[in-house]
Amino acid sequence: MEDSLGHKPGLREEGARSGDGAAGGEPIRVLVVDDHALFRRGLEMVLEQEEGIEVVGEAGDGAEAVDKAADLLPDIVLMDVRMPKRGGIEACTSIKEVAPSARIIMLTISDEEADLYDAIKAGATGYLLKEISTDEVATAIRAVADGQSQISPSMAAKLLTEFKSMIQRTDEKRLVPAPRLTDRELEVLKLVATGMNNRDIAKELFISENTVKNHVRNILEKLQLHSRMEAVVYAMREKILEIR
């Protein structure tokens, strides 16, 4: 089977893998947004083979994506970064306004740090390069639907480098003390910063996956943030974590 999404999806050899849908056993409803029609069709064909995932619509640019998101209220928006009329990052902000429950995964060829950082600030929960395999797309959709964040490993490394540069060039003045995290919460946050998912963190710390989820929830509540990515950004900025 070819690894790249740029190849014909018909080359996929293995059958659909079982997987959980959204809450209540319903399938994860996905909106596919890309300005290349053939890519949209190919991705839709691949995802249709995945149990628990349903493509409910598609759009060819950011403006159309916002309209479709408001109408369809998808669970996941799988969206390119650079498109005509309205780019994916700009559309991301508007989609979060019209469909707040939708989680957005940027699927793009852009490996530029600026696009990654802007996507996170705009509310994206995932940032994946199109070089990943078709199986990884479905896995990422399930993980994000389950409340996790997904970043391609090479981009995660660039993200941490960007945070380090941001800290070094910023003369910080803390107006209020950073909320106090427990030692275990700091351990979890450090592993989140490396791009590890809940399951891997649970194995690393020899605790249950549910316990990891509870720690992440407590971290977000203490920091008054909305996503794992925002928690890492905040931690780096406030020097809760050290990057060497």
For residue range 142-171, what is the model confidence (pLDDT) as tens digits? Answer: 999 988 888 876 676 666 665 555 555 544
Q: What is the pLDDT along the chain (244 residues), one digit of tens a residue?
A: 444 444 433 323 333 333 455 445 789 999 999 999 998 998 999 998 899 999 999 999 999 999 999 999 999 999 999 888 888 989 998 999 999 999 999 988 887 777 888 888 888 888 888 888 878 899 999 999 988 888 876 676 666 665 555 555 544 444 445 567 888 998 898 888 777 889 999 999 999 999 999 999 898 888 888 787 787 777 777 666 554 4
- Residue keyed to tokens 């957005």: 104
Report the C-alpha gap between 244 and 240 in whole angstroms.
13
Q: Specify the 3-state DSSP secondary structure of 33.
A: strand
DSSP letter string, 77-126: EEE-S--SSS-HHHHHHHHHHH-TT-EEEEEES---HHHHHHHHHHT-SE
Q: What share of the chain is helix, strand, coil (3-state, %, to 5)?
A: 50, 10, 40
* Neighbour-count burial of 141, counting CB atoms closer than 10 A to its CB (0-12 exposed, 13-18 middle, 19+ buried): buried
Closest CA to 44 of 138, 178, 133: 138
Contacts of 6 (CB under 8 A, 6+ apart): 39, 130
Q: How many C-beta atoms surround the C-beta of residue 123 within 10 A? A: 21
Phi, psi values for residue 76, rounded to 5°? -130, 135
Type of residue at 68: K
pLDDT at 84: 82
Report the C-alpha gap between 84 and 60 in whole angstroms.
8
Residues in the chain: 244
pLDDT at 214: 92
Report the C-alpha gap between 178 and 225 in whole angstroms.
13
Set out the domains of the chain in order of their start, with CATH numbers. 9-151 (3.40.50.2300), 171-237 (1.10.10.10)
Strands 28-33 and 76-79, by their bridges, are: parallel
Report the C-alpha gap between 200 and 207 in whole angstroms.
10
pLDDT at 120: 84
Answer whether 0.85 is exceeded by the pTM: no
pLDDT at 242: 54
Interior/surface letters 51-86, b for 16+ CB within 10 angstroms, e for the rest? ebbbbbbbbbbbbbbbebbeebebbbbbbbbebeee
